[in-house]
């Protein structure tokens, strides 16, 4: 139960970050927003560890995995921030929801977790839900749609790597590495896209890093307590605050196909929850 509560709390924090990123994307480059998300993660987590958790401030036991994890999340964020700058928050997130399906498919290979028949059925249901949202052949398959799907693919592997690291490094150390890797990669390209933010924009950029730090810390803690494939379906809860933010702040209303696909995708997670003991 503790793992579930931590996981649901994480999926409540992260949509706030997404909403702020979508708001800023109308005036600032996506790469700059992504860089700020990681830069401010380091600004928040490093002093916190120095002041209160100094004993955990050490080299990772699995530095290569930490670098891979940070890179996966960095590129997932670029793709997602781009997609929400072009399409609605809820549609981008629905397509990114292939992440739990990726976790279910690949966790037996990379984590040696057992995936039963019920989870494979759920994968097929979720995949069909994605097809309804995309409607290949009926609507244009634009770059933002591909970016949202790419987000889900990379994020699924990010969750798998997070699970592998959850029993190795301290959660705060893992979060710090995530920020350092993302800020380091972003710093190579940010000078070519830099736009000087206003004081208000700086504040919102800081908030992106703040909510990202809280959300991913909660996510890491939840994965420390339970299997990635078992927690994966609870990621669907993220759609609720996401839709609320999209509707209230951006007047985004999901269409009937979007809702139908979303029901199937969420239904796949509920199916797992009901058929298997957590």
pTM of the model: 0.82
Mean pLDDT of 172-185: 89
Please tell me the distance from the alpha carbon of residue 186 to that of residue 117, in angstroms, as a whole number: 41
Please tell me the distance from the alpha carbon of residue 231 to that of residue 248, in angstroms, as a whole number: 29
What tokens does 150 get?
Answer: 């790419």
Please tell me the distance from the alpha carbon of residue 72 to that of residue 152, in angstroms, as a whole number: 11
Q: What is the pLDDT of residue 49?
A: 86
CB 237 within 8 A of CB 8: yes
Q: Which of 259, 257, 242, 212 is nearest to 17 (CA)?
A: 212
CB 254 within 8 A of CB 24: no
Whose tokens are 């409540």? That residue is 12
Q: What is the pLDDT of residues 38-75, one digit of tens each?
A: 999 999 988 888 887 787 778 888 889 899 999 999 99
Q: What is the pLDDT of residue 278?
A: 46
Mean pLDDT, rounded, of the chain: 83
Range of the domain at 184: 2-275
Please tell me the distance from the alpha carbon of residue 48 to that of residue 57, in angstroms, as a whole number: 10
Most confident of 31-35, 137-141, 163-167, 262-266: 31-35
Please tell me the distance from the alpha carbon of residue 231 to that of residue 99, in angstroms, as a whole number: 12
The domain total for the chain is 1
Coil, strand or helix at 53: coil
Sequence-ordered alpha helix ranges (H) in 135-198: 143-165, 171-189
């Amino acid at each position: 139960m503790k793992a579930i509560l931590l996981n649901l709390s994480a999926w409540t924090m992260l949509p706030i970050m997404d909403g702020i990123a979508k708001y800023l994307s109308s005036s600032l480059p996506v790469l700059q927003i992504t860089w700020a998300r990681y830069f401010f993660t380091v600004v928040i987590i490093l002093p916190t560890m120095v002041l209160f958790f100094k004993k955990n401030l050490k080299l990772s036991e699995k530095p290569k995995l930490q670098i891979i994890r940070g890179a996966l999340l960095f590129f997932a964020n670029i793709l997602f921030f781009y997609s929400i700058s072009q399409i609605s928050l809820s549609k981008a997130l629905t397509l990114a929801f292939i992440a739990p399906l990726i976790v279910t498919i690949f966790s037996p290979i990379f984590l040696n977790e057992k995936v039963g028949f019920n989870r494979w059925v759920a994968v097929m249901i979720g995949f069909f839900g994605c097809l309804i949202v995309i409607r290949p052949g009926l609507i244009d398959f634009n770059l933002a749609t591909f970016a949202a799907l790419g987000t889900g693919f990379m994020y699924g592997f990010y969750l798998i790597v997070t699970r592998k690291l959850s029993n190795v490094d301290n959660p705060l150390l893992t979060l710090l590495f995530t920020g350092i890797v993302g800020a380091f990669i972003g710093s190579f390209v940010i000078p070519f896209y830099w736009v000087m933010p206003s004081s208000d924009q700086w504040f919102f950029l800081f908030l992106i890093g703040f909510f990202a730090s809280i959300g991913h810390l909660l996510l890491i803690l939840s994965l420390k307590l339970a299997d990635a494939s078992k927690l994966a379906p609870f990621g669907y809860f993220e759609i609720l605050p996401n839709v609320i933010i999209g509707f209230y702040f951006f007047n985004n209303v999901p269409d009937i196909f979007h809702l139908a696909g979303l029901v199937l995708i969420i239904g796949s997670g509920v199916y797992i929850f009901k058929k298997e003991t957590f």
